[in-house]
Amino acid sequence: MSGSSGLLLLILLGLLIWLWQNSLRARESAIRAAREACQQQHFQLLDGSIVLQRLMPGRQENGRLSLRRTFLFSYSEDGLQRKTGFVIMSGNHIEQVGL
């Protein structure tokens, strides 16, 4: 293996680790946002989890390139019916929460 291919592999590995850690932080922020939105409406967040539905490049309000993520979660208004909500994030910023 030449030095340049080893360096490229190391850079790619570093980028993958960064993406993984960044995604974990974003997911935790999305869970907090979903929990707060449900509490404000006196709804129940079901399963206490959230699922990444979409990941794509986007731009923040300041024009910087970022990752735009859409997460889905389940909640209930009455404890019987399951409904789906969403959290949209740009980078680490919560853009929108929908119930």
pLDDT of residue 64: 84
Structural domain including 85 reads 3-98
pLDDT in tens, 34-47: 999 999 999 999 98
**pTM for the whole thing?**
0.84
Domain count within the chain: 1
Among residues 87, 99, 69, which one has the least CA distance to residue 30?
A: 87
User: Tens of pLDDT along 47-95?
Assistant: 878 999 999 998 877 888 889 999 999 999 998 899 999 999 998 899 9
Q: pLDDT at position 16, please?
A: 93
pLDDT at 39: 96
Q: What is the pLDDT of residue 27?
A: 95
48 in Cβ contact with 28 (< 8 Å): no
Using CA atoms, how far residue 26 sits from 5, 12, 65, 82, in Å, is 31, 21, 16, 24
